[in-house]
Amino acid sequence: MRSRVRAAGHAIHPILIVFPLGLLTTSVAFDVLHLITDRVSFAFTAAHLIAAGLLMGVVTAVTGWLDWWLVVPQGTRARRIGLLHGLANAVVLVLFAISWAMRLSEQDWVPQWPALVAAWLGLLVSGAGGWLGGELVERLGISVEEGAHPDASSSLSGSGLAGR
């Protein structure tokens, strides 16, 4: 089922997911570095990584929602898994938004334990959301070109995939 939200021959959603996932995961790593070293710069950086991850997460969510709405057939397992995938990742964004909001009132953006726990829970839930996304693509064939094969032409060639 070919994605409708595309650029240069590829679905945009799987291209974008690396940004919020990478930014939010890295923010947790910077929180850990802050806990180990007590350097304020790590806490400050973590807060800004969360802000960037949230912004990219919203953009990425819009592209995923459009594909879910326009491409995934009603009444299918893929539709149910896609909904769970989207809801799990919405929870991730909410947890990181809570963590970020808690840091707003702290001096130098240094997080207290509730903010850290919210971010860590967000990271855990992102693993489940990512697994569900993998299930959609790898098991259910969502956003995979019909007729895809190891010798298919470039997506930039403009030719179809027919003819192995």
Structural domain for 28, as ranges:
6-139
Percent of the chain past pLDDT 90, that is, above it, reads 76
Q: Is residue 17 part of a domain?
A: yes
Q: Is residue 149 part of a domain?
A: no
Q: Is pLDDT of 32 > 90? A: yes
Integer distance in angstroms from the first to the last C-alpha of the chain? 19
Residue 10 DSSP label: E
Q: Is residue 129 part of a domain?
A: yes
Predicted pLDDT at 121 = 98
Q: What mean pLDDT, rounded, does the chain reach?
A: 92
CA distance 89 to 45: 23
Predicted pLDDT at 28 = 98
Of 115, 114, 107, 133, which Cα lies nearest the Cα of 21?
133
CA distance 120 to 52: 17
In the structure, what pLDDT confidence band is assigned to residue 163 with cuts at 50, 70 and 90? very low
Taking only the tens place, the pLDDT of each residue in 94-147 is: 999 999 999 998 988 999 999 999 999 999 999 999 999 999 999 998 888 887
Q: Is residue 80 part of a domain?
A: yes
Number of domains, the chain: 1
**Global pTM?**
0.91
